[in-house]
Amino acid sequence: MHQIFTVANKEFHDGLRNRWLVSITLIFALLSIGLTYFGAAASGAVGVASLSTTVASLASLAVFLIPLIALLLSYDSFVGEQESGTLLLLLTYPLSKSQLLLGKFIGQGGIIALATLLGFGASAVVLYMQIGDTAILSTFGIFIISAILLGLSFTAIAYLISLSVSEKSKAAGFALITWFLFALAFDLALLALLVGVEEGVTQQGLTQLMMLNPADIFRLVNFAGLDSSDVNGALSVAINASLSQMQLFSALVAWVVLPLTLAIFIFKKKKL
């Protein structure tokens, strides 16, 4: 435990030193406060938009940004240390591979989690002061927790990439592809399936397919509770057959735990 904490502490401080925490928090805060105030601009008014519009726009943005940020933050965690020779050195210390991996995960995950909490929390506070509705807190609570889980999930996926390749530049390439597949291509493919193939997939089947993408689970979590007027596309179909919030959160947690377990497994098999 002491070892995990030492590694986590170092990784967290690296995140502070490299201005990751500050930049992510700023991006999230600016975006969410901006969307909160100007989200209604499309309908011709400036001012605080409705809660569901705000959360819908926030979630649509977060679903692209958070995976990208998590992948950027963590793609070189292992391959970078391998290239500089410190990975081999660390493994001669009384430090197991799973301790090192979990330590890194806690440290870097901590950066993502804290930035998400501070950044989006800021707009929750602003909105609460303007409207004073307690529904804001619960809606934002769900949004922030699912956003954190989404970030952690892509941190774990980044470790998978980082442990599977032997060059930093390759890891960067794979991270970009992974982001493209999960954030963009997957939904387009679903839409194509839905529109192009008649009777190709049932509503139930679609929802199950969406469980294969943590970004879509995140969307489902946040859109399920909103007025369906704010949501369109493949999602609105899925939402009607939606699973319970509990099931969706379990699926997101699984998307954190499974890649992480797989990463530990790959690390143990890795040839140094």
Partner 1 sequence: MNTPLVSLIEAGKTYGQLDALSAMTMSLNEGEVLGLFGHNGAGKTTMMKLILGVISPSRGKVEVMGMAPDSKEAWNCRSKVGYLPENVSFYEQLTGLEVLTYFVKLKGFSKAAGKKLAVDLLEQVGITHAMNRQVKTYSKGMRQRLGLAQAFIGEPKLLLLDEPTVGLDPIATRDFYKTVDQLKSNGSSVILCSHVLPGVEQHIDRAMILSTGKLLAMGTLSELRQQAALPVVIKPLSFKKGGLNGTVTQDAILNSFITGTCPNTLLVPENEKLAVLKQLLSLNDLDDIQVESANLEQVYQHFLSAHELSEQQLSGNNKTNGGQG
Footprint of partner 1 (CB under 8 A)? 2-3, 6-7, 10, 14, 17-18, 84-86, 88-95, 271-272
CA distance 147 to 66: 7
- Least distance CB 22 / partner 1 (angstroms): 15
Q: Cα Rg for the chain, rounded, in angstroms? A: 20
Q: Which is nearer to partner 1, 6 or 50 (CB)?
A: 6
Q: Which is nearer to partner 1, 42 or 88 (CB)?
A: 88
- Least distance CB 30 / partner 1 (angstroms): 26
- For residues 73 and 108, the answer to whether their CB atoms sit within 8 Å is yes
Q: Which is nearer to partner 1, 30 or 89 (CB)?
A: 89
- Least distance CB 223 / partner 1 (angstroms): 40
SS3 134: coil
- Least distance CB 73 / partner 1 (angstroms): 15
- For residues 182 and 67, the answer to whether their CB atoms sit within 8 Å is yes
- Least distance CB 116 / partner 1 (angstroms): 24
- For residues 73 and 20, the answer to whether their CB atoms sit within 8 Å is yes
- Least distance CB 83 / partner 1 (angstroms): 9
Q: Which is nearer to partner 1, 2 or 132 (CB)?
A: 2
- Least distance CB 174 / partner 1 (angstroms): 23
Q: How far is CA 187 from CA 23, 35, 48, 51, in A?
A: 28, 23, 30, 25
CA distance 226 to 42: 19
Q: Which is nearer to partner 1, 2 or 134 (CB)?
A: 2
Helix axes 214-223, 245-269, angle to 10 degrees: 160
166 phi and psi angles, rounded to 5 deg:
-115, 0
Q: Which is nearer to partner 1, 199 or 271 (CB)?
A: 271
Q: Which is nearer to partner 1, 11 or 216 (CB)?
A: 11
Q: Give the residue among 1, 7, 181 at the shortest CA–CA distance from 78.
A: 7
CA distance 14 to 2: 18
Q: Give the residue among 195, 215, 206, 191 at the shortest CA–CA distance from 243.
A: 206
- Least distance CB 269 / partner 1 (angstroms): 12
Neighbouring CB atoms inside 10 A of 8's CB total 20
Q: Which is nearer to partner 1, 2 or 246 (CB)?
A: 2
